[in-house]
Structure 1
């Protein structure tokens, strides 16, 4: 570690290019006033205060920086605190929905005396009792966007924390879906009728194959296909499986009927059925004079397939679970499409160019176990067994100790950390079916989660670092990528199911799955409809990543001055992960005490009243010292305006469901206890409220 000592600080950084070809020299500034001033004059949105110093020839000023080895994250935190700096823990994260508060725990050998808000009239700062050797505060933000908190220590020492306040998660989920549908191309005379278009928030221009706007060269594929183009329908369908909207489902069916089937995707009447066309777009490939893999058989990129079968699987759920929502096909038909596309991922690229999907983690493929289960339930047992065999083969390939967990399009890539956790989950839950030993499954699970962590911001108290995945440039460029939230799902799954001490990873995982919502440009009219690019037309638009540097160029080739991209690129993959990770989690945290991630909680004696605010309202995880359980509503949501009541003294849970089907007379729930036992029931809801009794063996001992 590099630690500044007394009267020394690092307040600004940039990268100096030595030549047009050089990657540049990273420079940190002890006094950044001059450099930051030039950057701000050039349009940079630098927010932390900087200073300047003038010395006469006879004057001197000494600054000191200390290098120090540390063994692990906990040792790093102790080193920070011992040096008089501030070690920061937060709950639930540094991207904070404005219907939730954030708790902050600070440790330092020079204790923090007070916290000062940047926007005092829009921020409530409340001191809490000390816990676990830390000073605690609770903060509520009402002003959307970036919010800086200043920590004051004796001797005029200051530390700055960067938070981002958003609208409620459920509001953002719905706004993003609404925005995507508004930007759908709807012109039957165009070959790309049905395409969900890219959008430039800066100029409010809709992109399409006839107008690539500022995207140049080979990157034009971003508009129609590959991860960026296919992420939008994947997210739209995933959201609608939770919160269906008639117009949005109709837009998805139009996309499937006019753009995908027989266009982007080969039909069952064609060779290589279910194959998906890659870059630059399906029309150029289908009309190519080259009959081979660079033309009419450009269907060999396995990365494309999961987004489409995730979309079909979500459409299956919509048709199955929401009978009041019209769909163009039956639930079974969507399910067959999902199966065919998933099978094609493993078979078509291998047949065309010998590209194996077994040794590469791919975004969105984590839904394969759910797809296998849906096939089994639908009576498609042969298809379920076939797909599970392919998945098991992939599990074995990754459990192998010699497996490269990072292989992707680059020698190192962080895009697999959702997939590797899903593979680990299957290996741990059913090692016999997957063909691996319990010991090998456990070793793989620990190895891949360690890799997830070393590519993730954890100690850095800024919303664009905490929980973000890191690429080769670490925190210098392109943070809050789609893998921030997808990898956050992985951290939460590991914390809830596998970790001996779940609480540090619950905090980090929840911060991760909230983090990239900061890239969504959303807000009420009073707040300009969004922080990054105000205007009603941009409400619900999103950036593809965050650039922390004062200036530079985004991956898509556009100049930036710190902040979010104005193209969404692949970020909807992250929003897919956020929907999957959305849960309300109650835990006995060793630092913060009894907490509720993703919800509001009131405690009365041995009774907890919990209002879910996670965005999905179907999953409740309890990790208390006296009770561990997981409750999932399979065909309903928790009512947003009624609390879940957890009575620890008498041993019951009471909830008011909001059924998916308005005419439903019952709802189905699944309850899993900490010993792995599961209980699945259909409960009558004549009186609207459900009371679930907990087994006596699971009840805490209560002293009267």
Structure 2
């Protein structure tokens, strides 16, 4: 330390204070604890080192030691004009960074839940110092998730990309597979949306909170780095590219419709964006890289026009600055970057107390989130501006600026408990969310409540986001301080001539920055124990530690923006391994290192190597099938020792193809690309690399085999689901070689009952565990037979789905309505959905076999071996479904649609359309099917208007089913409907002479009309200020389309967007209702319903379901008509299930008669 003072040093003395010697942490609700702090009695000292005079001013420099971790005060006693005075200097002392980080990484394994099959399994939970236990809050809002829960693994994954440990990597992989992909994201494998919190399904927490997305994609990206750098470390759940592509898809989803806090908000963690874009390019995903580049270009424009580009979620936030700086960096916007640097330095001003020196302080003051993550995250911006950008600082200013810069790197390491917060061994290694600077109020919103521990809040919270940020910049920095002179931050340094001898002590040992020389070196996956650097010639030597423990390519990033073009030679352990050219920008040099644990790397000025020949690596042989031939990954690698800073130019060409065969490449000039082959046969493709001196070519033999005939039984699932199946998320396919079904849910979400054979999957009609069939099941199915045993439990909700096969445009669903009538819902590519009703209603509590055959020239539906519906015009086949499929059993593609209620057994999928005789033999019986009785029918008409009698009545068959059959009615005498009242008509059916049908006709005085016009509309929520609310529902308007807003729209966007919603009509007097027409709203992304049902209030005021419901469609751009058994009521409502987010209705007609 130094004292900038005119006081003579002989008049200055010191006393020392720490937690053992003074009440540093007094205050309400604060736990004082000094037992865990290693205290050295009389260990604190300030020893005079030298006196300097700078610009005529005196600086007294002291070497300082402290007696313990945590807060330490040095009290300066001095005399001015005979008057005794004192000044208190406040410091906080942290453990060795490497030790602290390692302790915390190890501790996080203690926070991971090990509860196979349960909701929280493999979650890294928040730790509570008060209870010395995991938080265990998984009920939704403010539970596990958001910026606290989601970030623990983000830090741990990033840490292991730098310092891998087998147990930690295994834990992260299991977390991503179980807690994230098959837990938090189980409903979003196709759209990659992120619910903000983990909870039991249905997850009603929003997917619109953009802040959550970077935490997940950064964890996946770190996992990609681990898996690609250390491929043999563990047996990974997925391929390295899978982790990378999930990071990409989640990042892209963050900017999808319905997600907020994205285009005009900077979120935490976005500084990783350039690295993700580069990784996509490196792995041959050029289109994906361009997607993200285009998104960032648009986002940059949103901030470029903003005079104050710092606002984030709240006015006082500083959370946007990291992201906004990245946008400026990508677009070389010096003004934007400089404003961010000025802003963050202003909030870190040199304050009179230690906890505000170099620590971001928002306008809410020092009690609110002191030491929060912005110290490190916005420190990323501050570090780049100081080291890389054209900041205009002179040498003295660089030295001064580095003080706050390095404080930003270290500040958040104070969040790790090394004993200075809490001495209990159970809490050593945990972290604290924030520091409560004034020790007064002890809680802040959402930070866990409870006690403070030596001033630190007890919940770990968002601290790991801070540590992730610290990992981005931690380094050994060498600078010439205007007072201290040559200084090593995170390092010991000495200078001999032009050479700096640097020993890193920053905790990572991967980066070294010469601040005054604007020269930086950073290893991606190796460490160094000593560096010797000559900034004049840029010769550098590193004592390397081989982190991977095997021969590999070390990645070294060199940044020297002010340098001219220069050539360097690279020597490893005395052997020249290459050369490269640096041109004054940031470059990445790929250096081949041996498997030795240690090595000496030397980089020195030289010449480009001559007579080098590129090294090309490709697979010797690939074998694929025609069904997979449209996307064959060719993974090549090329390098030239003469130009280690870049890959040589690459080119894929076709050397050999069968007659008529053709191969094309998605990116022929990238060493990693995808190829498409149009015909079976033998191909030879070649990768040519053109280096600085010569070219090298290597060929790949590709055998594209004709597809083998499919087995007759493609899939057979017996539903004998075990806990182990649920934990593994897979149900074995009983068909030899067939793909397993995917199981989603916890062990609490699944139950089995006695099946038709063995066990059956029981479903409650509510969101629970379910099966999803992979796209591989439908591959090449040009004709199909699907068979399933079904047992309904009671009456189903209209739109209940037994199974559904769908891609992004086409869909086939087997459904039942509120009368248990079986029907198909079919949507061909580019067409609207069409319901095909069978007129057959299934009985409850009875096993029925339902079999469907599909070909490109027709379809047929069978019940217990007998055909009940043929579709000669149908052309949809399962083999025509696209690459992205949503194939479910027991539910629809939308979680919000009605779920099946009953039991399912014996699902069989065949690769041929069985004949009627074959189906009857497998699933039929010899019992004669007879009609037992006929249900009475009803009709309504106006006085003197001939009634329209139903063309069919419901017949009750001997197998328990109800089926609609044609009826011939007797002549109706006009006198019977000449006045109000009721009468009956009898009819005959062709199937039985012994049974007669009856219909009761109610004659009313009025005429049928749209009674909605005289009703009072209400809804579950009404927001007239947003598109008009309920008042437009009954204005008689006919919309032009489902996005017609000209007469107003009712919607529930400001309510629960994921739950059912209702609209309702009420009349002062009873009305007789017969049918309804609804026109639904759709804004291009949301508000469309997936199912509709209708209820009325009886004389007792109880809600009753409408009976014999027909229609209940949800087709867009038209009125959807629904008929039902007429009801007399004063209140009628429509209950809608969302297809995406929210529900919207433009117009709702309800037809019937006024009761007189």
| TM-score for the superposition, normalised by structure 1 | 0.73
Give the CA deviation at 1:346: 1.1
Offset from partner CA, 1:40-82 (integer Å, 9 cap, x none): xxxxxxxxxxxxxxxxxxxxxxxxxxxxxxxxxxxxxxxxxxx
CA contact (8 A) 1:638 1:656 kept: yes
Partner residue of 1:661?
Answer: 548
Partner residue of 1:610?
Answer: 502
Cα separation, partners in 2 of 1:163 and 1:465, compared to 1, 3 Å: same
Partner residue of 2:119?
Answer: 191
Partner residue of 1:312?
Answer: 220
Match of 1:137 among 62, 66, 69: 62
Match of 2:239 among 330, 334, 352: 330
CA contact (8 A) 1:237 1:314 kept: yes
Name stretches of at least 5 consecutive residues in structure 1 with no aligned partner.
1-103, 213-219, 289-294, 429-440, 523-529, 697-704
Give the CA deviation at 1:261: 0.9
Partner residue of 2:435?
Answer: 546
Higher helix share: 1
Give the CA deviation at 1:497: 1.9
Task: Say whether residues 1:180 and 2:118 are aligned partners.
Answer: no
Cα separation, partners in 2 of 1:649 and 1:426, compared to 1, 3 Å: closer
The alignment partner of 1:342 has SS state of helix
Task: Say whether residues 1:513 and 2:409 are aligned partners.
Answer: yes
Cα separation, partners in 2 of 1:189 and 1:677, compared to 1, 3 Å: closer
Partner residue of 1:75?
Answer: none
Offset from partner CA, 1:478-525 (integer Å, 9 cap, x none): 311111222222211211123222333221021122112222111xxx
CA contact (8 A) 1:407 1:413 kept: yes
Partner residue of 2:202?
Answer: 287
Instruction: For 1:622 and 1:251, locate their aligned partners in 2 and report how far apart those are by CA, in whole Å.
Output: 37
CA contact (8 A) 1:481 1:571 kept: yes
Match of 1:263 among 175, 180, 183: 183
Give the CA deviation at 1:461: 3.9
Offset from partner CA, 1:344-400 (integer Å, 9 cap, x none): 1111xxx226x3511111001111111001000111111001011101211221122
Higher strand share: 2
- Structure label with greater radius of gyration: 2
Match of 1:251 among 148, 156, 171: 171
CA contact (8 A) 1:142 1:165 kept: no
Partner residue of 2:3?
Answer: 106
What are the residue-to-residue correspondences of 1:50-65 with 2, within 5 Å? none
CA contact (8 A) 1:397 1:403 kept: no
Cα separation, partners in 2 of 1:648 and 1:550, compared to 1, 3 Å: closer
Partner residue of 2:317?
Answer: 413
Match of 1:117 among 5, 12, 16: 16
Cα separation, partners in 2 of 1:407 and 1:125, compared to 1, 3 Å: same
Partner residue of 1:276?
Answer: 194
Give the CA deviation at 1:583: 1.2
What are the residue-to-residue correspondences of 1:461-540 with 2, within 5 Å? 461-462=353-354, 464-498=355-389, 499-501=391-393, 502-522=398-418, 530-540=419-429
Aligned length: 543
Match of 1:690 among 601, 605, 609: 601
The alignment partner of 1:130 has SS state of strand
Which structure would you say has the larger RCO, counting Cα contacts within 8 Å and 6 or more residues apart? 1
Cα separation, partners in 2 of 1:647 and 1:443, compared to 1, 3 Å: closer
CA contact (8 A) 2:42 2:67 kept: no
Give the CA deviation at 1:109: 4.3
Offset from partner CA, 1:14-46 (integer Å, 9 cap, x none): xxxxxxxxxxxxxxxxxxxxxxxxxxxxxxxxx
Instruction: For 2:534 and 2:345, locate their aligned partners in 1 and report how far apart those are by CA, in whole Å.
Output: 36
The alignment partner of 1:156 has SS state of strand
The alignment partner of 2:219 has SS state of helix
Aligned residues: CA RMSD: 2.4
Partner residue of 1:344?
Answer: 253
Offset from partner CA, 1:508-551 (integer Å, 9 cap, x none): 021122112222111xxxxxxx1111122111111100011132
Cα separation, partners in 2 of 1:111 and 1:488, compared to 1, 3 Å: farther
Cα separation, partners in 2 of 1:595 and 1:265, compared to 1, 3 Å: same
Give the CA deviation at 1:129: 2.2
The alignment partner of 2:232 has SS state of coil
Give the CA deviation at 1:402: 3.7
Offset from partner CA, 1:230-266 (integer Å, 9 cap, x none): 1101111111111111111111111111111132125
Instruction: For 2:60 and 2:321, locate their aligned partners in 1 and report how far apart those are by CA, in whole Å.
Output: 34
Cα separation, partners in 2 of 1:474 and 1:268, compared to 1, 3 Å: closer
Partner residue of 1:300?
Answer: 208
